[in-house]
A and B are shown apart, each in its own frame.
Chain A
Amino acid sequence: MRDVAVVGVGLSKHVSKRRDVNIAELVWEAVSAAYEDAGLTPGEVDGVITGNMPAFEGVNLPECWGAGHWGTYRKPLLRITTGGTTGGSVGHGAFYAVASGLFDTVIAIAFEKQSDGDSTAGLNTVILADIAALLGFGVDPSLLLAFGGGAVGIAVYQASSYMKSSGCTTHHLDKVSVLCRTNAAKNPHAHLQQPGLTPDDVAKTDLMQYPLRFGHVCPASDGACAMILTTGERARKLTDRPAYIRSVASCSDEGALIGIGGSGTLNVDPGRQESCKLAAARAYEHAGIKDPRNEIDLAEPYAPFAHQLLMFYERLLLCDEGEAPAVLNSGSMEMAGELPVCPSGGVISTNAIGASALERIAEAAMQIMGRAGEHQVQKDVHKAVAHGWGGMVNLNVVAVLADTPRG
């Protein structure tokens, strides 16, 4: 297999409502920044992998009219969309494009302009089709929103079961929000920047639905991310320290809407996330990593809800199950810690949904390349893991990056 490396990363400014740009222009901010970061021009890229969550903007295949603005004129293009994991899947697609030998240099582009549409409506279309089935079962429609409406509806069940199994308390959730939002304050691309935030501040926010408070939940952002990947050989000519993607793996489990499809689901515990563990194990194996706990220097788990940062830290095999709350208390996850987690501020601070999972890979790459600026962690980052989560609580994508190729 060929070596694949990241040589350039670009992010747009992320805020709630980017009224000053349209979708194509928003994406161009990230794309042009990536070209600049890589020292390449659009003409030097020979393929494009792109994706977003189209229901959030109310547009189908937006690259049909948008891609013309991204320097992709008459290039090969693949659109890959998988919900919350879209960005990760786009990153994986770009990896495979280069690894396959069919393409040498590709750009991965993922974005979401949530303010263009109605994200709650977008999320509800996740289950509208299933609701149609449920009505066939005679369910009272007024209760459906409480049962599963929107992502929060799913996340609360997941949080409850995770907290039960791990001993994580709401106090830990408060601390996760503080960790991420204070890190975000150092990241110019982050959306919710809250320097000086305290756990008490978070605990005082309104209860959304037990156990999650508003302070534990991501914002809805407008934003885009682009990443340029090329062969190891070309990467070494472009930069002294490329970020090699050693492996990618994804795993799909059954939809875990807890039977809301009227069809039952085996995914009885949405907190178990077996598919994340499987994806992580496969990715580490392909990357030649035998002992992730000691070998991984930095993690970017996809955690739009506070409990998920801890849950996925465990499911990414970085500690034993149930241990993450203690790891959080130890300070090891902080920017100056032993295994910094989400120095970018994570998804809980910035969530342009389709872009978020690509941003995890991009942030890990920036840390390895030493290009993270103010939120560059103190330690030398040799190996990092980037994760994405989505679907009906059932899709997980994992990428392992390093400062050296697989060897």
Chain B
Amino acid sequence: MNKEVAVIGYAQTLYEEDADASREMLTLRAAREALVSAGLKREDVSTVVTATNDYLDGRTISNMRTVEPSGASQKDESKVEMDGAFAALYAIMRILSGFHDVAMVIGVSLASVYATYLPGIMILDPTWDRERGLLNEVSAAALQANCYMREYGVSDEQIASVSAKNLDNAARNPLALRQMPGLSVEQVLDSRMLYSPIRELNAWPATDGACAVVLASGKTAAKAEKPVWVKGVGLCHDSYLTERPLAVMESLKLAAEACYKQAGITDPASQIDLAEIHENFAHEELMAYEALGFCEEGKGGELIESGITQIDGGLPVNASGGALGANAVCATGLARIAEAAMQVVGEAGDHQVPGVKTALAHGQSGPCAQDNVVFILGGD
């Protein structure tokens, strides 16, 4: 894509364990700040795409009461019931169609209102899996992690080093929930076991929060102060977790291929300056390295060991702390887009990586990263 759509504004709320605010107020805060960031008014926005989930919010038609706080009153509004990164893709479609000029995308949820893993259990096949109580998001991820580790000989230490890296990075991100400066691999391996091999610090923290991103057409974005252009997008859905090999993220690979083709990326490891990966669990980041072509299949563990993906490495991954640092479901993938854009603009403060020109953002949805979406963003 050549200067057809750009991110022109973004905002995230503080990520908290138990926010003293409702979903609506978090939405309002994110929307207002994103408009300020974009230098626009509510009137300038023609379409709003929200990302919420009826089960996370405990209400049918979860987008109903977010109409006013998202600024969507009497506008063309829709809801993607997936992560906000998918909502961003829908907003991009809406702009590319020529029907809309400026789109507001908002993802929000409060883990403090739902029994943490219950919405994930409600996703499972109701005939065979749900009522048996064996599977939930964490146990499913544990099956995936073991499958991946055994297939490629990835060690617990290599996976723990993802947590150590991201939670240390999170300490530089004032909005992140789980900030653990100087966290060591040993400390991660000492954290509470949830489902083997997944420990507490390998899993996302239950989080309240919202993220908003403003996207605009090429014409409008060209007038913006700091447009971050969308160079490519890719999307793919995989089979249900019991019906596919879990050791590889095939749908992420396909999504990345489609995205890279649009963005003209042939050698991702050298062409991409920074990546924000939606890793609900530490091992998923290693699997994503492989699917995104940062290294060869099965070499994710070696890549993290090389230090390249550290914040001061050649290809920093999750300088923000990633989903391990804060994971307000439905906002997380969208926050990766916001963070990637922030890095390109150079506004990331303490976790800014110097000289980011091309950044990758990834979002996922469904158990064991069933759905994946990939974006390449760039400054010019």
Binding site for B on A (CB under 8 A): 1, 22, 47-48, 51, 53-61, 63-65, 67-68, 72-84, 89, 92-93, 95-97, 99-102, 122-123, 125-126, 128-130, 247-255, 261, 274-275, 278-279, 282, 286, 390-392, 394-395
A17 to B239, CA, bound (A): 28
User: In the complex, how many angstroms separate the beta carbon of B34 from the nearest chain A beta carbon?
Assistant: 18
Q: Any chain A CB within 8 A of the CB of B142?
A: no
Which residue of the partner chain B has the closest CB to A64? B366
Among A75, A83, A96, point to the contact of B237 (Cβ < 8 A). A75
Let me know if B61 and A82 touch, CB within 8 A: yes
Which residue of the partner chain B has the closest CB to A81? B81
Given A96-B94, A252-B72, A275-B74, verify A390-B61 contact (CB < 8 Å).
yes
CB 8 Å contact bits of B117-158 with A (1 = contact, 0 = none): 001101111110100000000000000000000000000000
Q: Any chain A CB within 8 A of the CB of B223?
A: no
Q: Which of chain A's residues have a CB closer than 8 A to the CB of B77?
A: 250-252, 395
A250 to B90, CA, bound (A): 14
Q: Which of chain B's residues have a CB closer than 8 A to the CB of A79?
A: 80-82, 86, 365
Let me know if B61 and A391 touch, CB within 8 A: yes
Which residue of the partner chain A has the closest CB to B49? A80
Which residue of the partner chain B has the closest CB to A92? B78
Q: Which of chain A's residues have a CB closer than 8 A to the CB of B98?
A: 1, 99
Let me know if A61 and B86 touch, CB within 8 A: no
Given A80-B90, A251-B77, 15 further pairs, Cβ under 8 A: A22-B127, A54-B60, A54-B81, A60-B53, A77-B235, A78-B235, A81-B79, A93-B93, A125-B60, A128-B58, A129-B58, A250-B77, A250-B78, A252-B72, A391-B63
Among A89, A97, A247, A274, point to the contact of B78 (Cβ < 8 A). A89
Let me know if B67 and A252 touch, CB within 8 A: yes
A65 to B58, CA, bound (A): 21
Report B20-61 residues with CB < 8 Å from chain A CB: 48, 53-55, 57-61
Which residue of the partner chain B has the closest CB to A79? B81
A236 to B59, CA, bound (A): 43
Let me know if B61 and A60 touch, CB within 8 A: no
Among A53, A89, A274, point to the contact of B74 (Cβ < 8 A). A274
Let me know if A126 and B76 touch, CB within 8 A: no
User: In the complex, how many angstroms separate the beta carbon of A173 from the nearest chain B beta carbon?
Assistant: 26
Q: Which of chain A's residues have a CB closer than 8 A to the CB of B250?
A: 74
Let me know if A60 and B54 touch, CB within 8 A: yes
Which residue of the partner chain B has the closest CB to A125? B60
Report B69-106 residues with CB < 8 Å from chain A CB: 72-82, 86, 89-90, 92-99
Let me know if B59 and A125 touch, CB within 8 A: yes
Let me know if B237 and A100 touch, CB within 8 A: no
Q: Which of chain B's residues have a CB closer than 8 A to the CB of A63?
A: 237
Let me know if A83 and B60 touch, CB within 8 A: yes
Q: Any chain A CB within 8 A of the CB of B173?
A: no
User: In the complex, how many angstroms separate the beta carbon of B218 from the nearest chain A beta carbon?
Assistant: 13
Q: Any chain A CB within 8 A of the CB of B302?
A: no
A251 to B89, CA, bound (A): 20
Binding site for A on B (CB under 8 A): 48, 53-55, 57-61, 63-65, 67-68, 72-82, 86, 89-90, 92-99, 119-120, 122-127, 129, 233-240, 243, 250-251, 254-255, 258, 365-367, 370-371
Central interface residue in B60, B86, B125, by most chain A CB within 10 Å: B60
A64 to B370, CA, bound (A): 7
A56 to B61, CA, bound (A): 11
Among B86, B123, B237, point to the contact of A67 (Cβ < 8 A). B237
Which residue of the partner chain A has the closest CB to B5? A100
Among B59, B73, B78, point to the contact of A253 (Cβ < 8 A). B73
Central interface residue in A77, A250, A391, by most chain B CB within 10 Å: A77
Q: Which of chain A's residues have a CB closer than 8 A to the CB of B240?
A: 64-65, 68
Let me know if A251 and B76 touch, CB within 8 A: yes
Let me know if A253 and B54 touch, CB within 8 A: no
A101 to B76, CA, bound (A): 20
Let me know if B57 and A78 touch, CB within 8 A: no
Let me know if B235 and A100 touch, CB within 8 A: no
For the residues of A in contact with B, the DSSP-based class is: mixed
Let me know if B237 and A76 touch, CB within 8 A: yes
Let me know if A391 and B371 touch, CB within 8 A: no
Among A51, A60, A75, A80, point to the contact of B236 (Cβ < 8 A). A75
Among A56, A100, A250, A279, point to the contact of B97 (Cβ < 8 A). A100
A222 to B48, CA, bound (A): 31
Q: Which of chain B's residues have a CB closer than 8 A to the CB of A392?
A: 61, 64-65
Which residue of the partner chain B has the closest CB to A127? B59
Q: Which of chain A's residues have a CB closer than 8 A to the CB of B233?
A: 102
Let me know if A64 and B96 touch, CB within 8 A: no
A391 to B96, CA, bound (A): 27
Let me know if B370 and A76 touch, CB within 8 A: no
Let me know if A96 and B99 touch, CB within 8 A: yes
Q: Which of chain A's residues have a CB closer than 8 A to the CB of B57?
A: 129
A97 to B240, CA, bound (A): 24
Which residue of the partner chain B has the closest CB to A256? B64
A392 to B212, CA, bound (A): 24
Let me know if B60 and A1 touch, CB within 8 A: no
Q: Which of chain B's residues have a CB closer than 8 A to the CB of A122?
A: 60
A122 to B57, CA, bound (A): 14
Q: Which of chain A's residues have a CB closer than 8 A to the CB of B61?
A: 53, 81-84, 126, 390-392
A76 to B243, CA, bound (A): 17
User: In the complex, how many angstroms separate the beta carbon of A393 from the nearest chain B beta carbon?
Assistant: 10
Let me know if B93 and A252 touch, CB within 8 A: no
Q: Which of chain A's residues have a CB closer than 8 A to the CB of B124?
A: 64-65
Q: Which of chain A's residues have a CB closer than 8 A to the CB of B126?
A: 57-59
Given A65-B124, A83-B64, verify A102-B54 contact (CB < 8 Å).
no
**What are 27 of the A-B contact pairs (CB < 8 Å)?**
A1-B99, A59-B126, A60-B119, A61-B81, A65-B124, A74-B236, A74-B238, A74-B250, A74-B251, A75-B237, A76-B255, A78-B89, A78-B90, A80-B80, A80-B81, A82-B78, A96-B97, A100-B96, A102-B93, A102-B233, A125-B58, A250-B78, A252-B75, A255-B64, A275-B74, A278-B74, A395-B77
Given A65-B124, A101-B96, A253-B67, verify A74-B55 contact (CB < 8 Å).
no
A247 to B53, CA, bound (A): 28
Let me know if B97 and A1 touch, CB within 8 A: yes
User: In the complex, how many angstroms separate the beta carbon of A401 from the nearest chain B beta carbon?
Assistant: 16
A20 to B31, CA, bound (A): 46
Q: Which of chain A's residues have a CB closer than 8 A to the CB of B67?
A: 252-255, 391, 394
Let me know if A126 and B60 touch, CB within 8 A: yes
A77 to B64, CA, bound (A): 23
Let me know if B60 and A60 touch, CB within 8 A: no
Given A67-B237, A79-B80, verify A97-B93 contact (CB < 8 Å).
yes
User: In the complex, how many angstroms separate the beta carbon of B60 from the nearest chain A beta carbon?
Assistant: 4
A78 to B92, CA, bound (A): 13
Which residue of the partner chain B has the closest CB to A252? B77
Which residue of the partner chain A has the closest CB to B251? A74
A275 to B68, CA, bound (A): 13
